[in-house]
Amino acid sequence: MSDESLETLLDQERRLVFPRFDEDTAWELGGALRAAALAERLPVAIAIRRGRQELFHTALAGASADNDGWLRRKAAVVDRYGHSSYYVGCRFRADGGNFDTDSRLDTAEYAAHGGAFPLIVAGGGPIGSVAVSGLPQVDDHRFVVTQLERFLNT
């Protein structure tokens, strides 16, 4: 696996900002992610959360209940750190560490693997997450970023 530069990952978070975010936005974004995943025949589960409230969830052919656990654990990392789950894992590795052992967090509750990205509202900061699980972590992360770029037209 090849980590992307930390600056590139932070730049994604700076660029991918919503002017506003509500239940309708979650439904539209979730539908766009689902349509893109269906078009690519990706075996993924997708979740969008605002805080602890799940606003959107879908599982496509090939995804399993295990993917739901990954979605929850990746979203917990976004909630705790305010950054993408991939950034957090890369940050630990860049510092010579390992998230699973060095974060001192329960790995049954937290997973710093790619695929969960903060939902950031202009002027308000992170309010939740959008997460994908089912692909290798780099691909999960890139899928989310690509779809957010399309959705936000950035």
Residue 110 tokens, joined: 């937290």
Instruction: Tell me the per-residue pLDDT of 18-75, one tens digit each, with 9 for 90 and over.
Output: 999 999 999 999 999 999 999 999 999 999 999 989 999 999 999 999 999 999 999 9
Mind listing the pLDDT tens digit for each residue in 71-123?
Answer: 999 999 999 999 999 999 999 999 999 999 999 999 999 999 999 999 999 99
Tell me yes or no: is domain 6-152 CATH 3.30.750.210.
no
Q: What secondary structure letter does DSSP report for 115?
A: T
SS (HEC) of 37-106 = HHHCCCCCEEEEEECCEEEEEEECCCCCHHHHHHHHHHHHHHHHHCCCHHHHHHHHHHCCCCHHHHCCCC
